[in-house]
Amino acid sequence: MFREELKRAFINYGFLAAVVIGLLALSQGLSDYLSGPPMTSEYLSKLPLFYNNSYDAFIWSQRGIIGLLGPLLAVLPFSDSYLNDRTSGFLRNILSRSSYKEYLFAKYCSTGLSGGFAIAIPMTIFFLVMNIVFPRGINTNPYELRIISTPEALGPFGYFYQNNPDLYIFLLIGLGCIFGMVYAILGLSLSMFIENRYVVLATPFVLFMITHYLLALFRQPAWSPLSALVPHWLIGITWIHIGISLGGIFLASSMGFFLGSHVKEVRA
Amino acid sequence: MRFDKICMIDVSNKSREDFKKGEKMKMRSLVTGLIVIVLSVTLVGKAIAAGSFSTYNMTIPKLGGSNTTSNVTKVSSSDKAVVCSDQIGGGYTLNARIELLNGSVAAGYQSISNDQRREYTLNPSTAGSSYHARIATTIFIPVDVQATGWWSPDNPGSCGF
């Protein structure tokens, strides 16, 4: 059952669309990084060593539209699948072969994984491409560098940037994966209560945007849900900001999912 | 007589000493004056050669919007420009780059925050050309942001923080 659901979660147009949109969104973020003067060999020789590098390029690409589209990418692959299974009558066929609990567990895990990978895969591909395009190294010039490289400016694991930048980038991708899982499960839990698949897909994104805007308006931007996907968008983001944001949504949506599924089971 | 002679000698000796003292004083003030002139010419010349900072205090529009500082003519042959970011409202991180008068980019974006010095290698770097700094918010910032600081298309020295 789980294997079947996992296959359905990863092999579909929604997942493919999420990967393609993710790559395009990361490319948009890179456009500002590339907006400098022509990189002639004479000009490059005047710049500090590793002024342009694969790590900074990836960090810049994360500061683009991908940060805002994250919740949408996470729900695209499989978050509306429970609703589809129910409305299409497919759920009855499945329940004839396995238990409802087994189905729910498989749905919950496969949706979470597909959402996580829908964000992590484009990020990983993009980082690999950056490694081909730009030199791999860290610019140690304290005044002429593309990003603010102090640990507090790069999020809760920012201290890895100077000593092990690859680990830092993989932690960013890992955090993106967890973000995707949480928002995919949020979408799944909403599908327990909402009958329109477009509303299911759009609601996590809309909630994310409203919360982000309101927290900025109330001068508390660090608590924005964005901090969990782009922990370097603001100076001073800590594990507490990320943990509370992701933990709160994860708990609420998991409870919503199991409560909703119980209600649906009783009704059935 | 002797006494008078002695007195006369004393008086003439005294006036000679006064004269010598006066001469010494004149020489001293002349030398001091010369030193002051040489030093001030050197320092002012250096300051002119290295340019000076121009302050900015502006509101940057939200959601990836940008604003430019006033135009400043580059005076030195150094290919470095400097942005000294003093205060940014809300503690946000902004991006700053250097552009020529026609808007073409002379040095790409670098992230800036409070109390931060950023240096830019200009391409092209031409003395006599006018440049401005463009400061932009990221797409994540949903409010207008106030930014203050000073900048120069030359490299006038320390930012002072």
DSSP per-residue letters across B35-55: HHHHHHHHHHHHHHHH---EE
A217–B140 C-beta distance less than 8 A = no
Neighbours of B130 (CB within 10 A): 15
- pLDDT tens, residue by residue, A2-11: 788 888 889 9
A35–B108 C-beta distance less than 8 A = yes
Residue B79: closest CA among chain A residues belongs to which residue?
A: A46
B137-141 average pLDDT score: 94
Which residue, A192, A29, A197, A10, is CA-closest to A115?
A: A10
> A27 — contact with chain B (CB < 8 Å)?
no
Chain A hits for B121, CB-CB cut-off 8 Å, are: 43, 46-47, 144
Residue A233 near residue B138, CB atoms below 8 Å: yes
Q: Sketch the domain layout of chain B as residue ranges.
A: 1-50, 53-152
Per-residue pLDDT, B156: 85
Residue B49 in this model has a pLDDT that exceeds 70: no
Question: Residue A99: pLDDT band by 50, 70, 90 thresholds?
Answer: confident
Residue B20 distance to chain A (closest CA, Å): 57
Which residue, A194, A220, A229, is CA-closest to A71?
A: A229
DSSP 8-state secondary structure symbol assigned to residue B61: P
Which residue, A100, A173, A70, A94, is CA-closest to A130?
A: A173
Per-residue pLDDT, B29: 74
Residue B113: closest CA among chain A residues belongs to which residue?
A: A148
Residue A98 in this model has a pLDDT that exceeds 90: no
- pLDDT tens, residue by residue, B1-16: 455 555 555 555 656 6
Residue A258 in this model has a pLDDT that exceeds 80: yes
Chain B hits for A230, CB-CB cut-off 8 Å, are: 140
Which of the two residues, B103 and A165, has the higher pLDDT score?
A165
Query: What ipTM was predicted for this assembly?
Result: 0.87
CA B158 to chain centre: 8
- pLDDT tens, residue by residue, A177-233: 999 999 999 999 999 888 898 999 999 999 999 999 999 999 999 999 999 999 999
Per-residue pLDDT, A215: 93
Which of the two residues, A59 and B30, has the higher pLDDT score?
A59
Q: Sketch the domain layout of chain A as residue ranges.
A: 2-267
* Domain covering B53-152: architecture: Sandwich (2.60)
B139–A68 C-beta distance less than 8 A = yes
Per-residue pLDDT, B1: 47
Please tell me whether the overall predicted TM-score, pTM, comes out greater than 0.80 for this model: yes
Neighbours of B62 (CB within 10 A): 17
Which of the two residues, A264 and A139, has the higher pLDDT score?
A139
B108-114 average pLDDT score: 94
Residue B27 in this model has a pLDDT that exceeds 70: yes
* Angle between helices A13-33 and A100-133 in degrees, nearest 10: 30
A67–B140 C-beta distance less than 8 A = yes
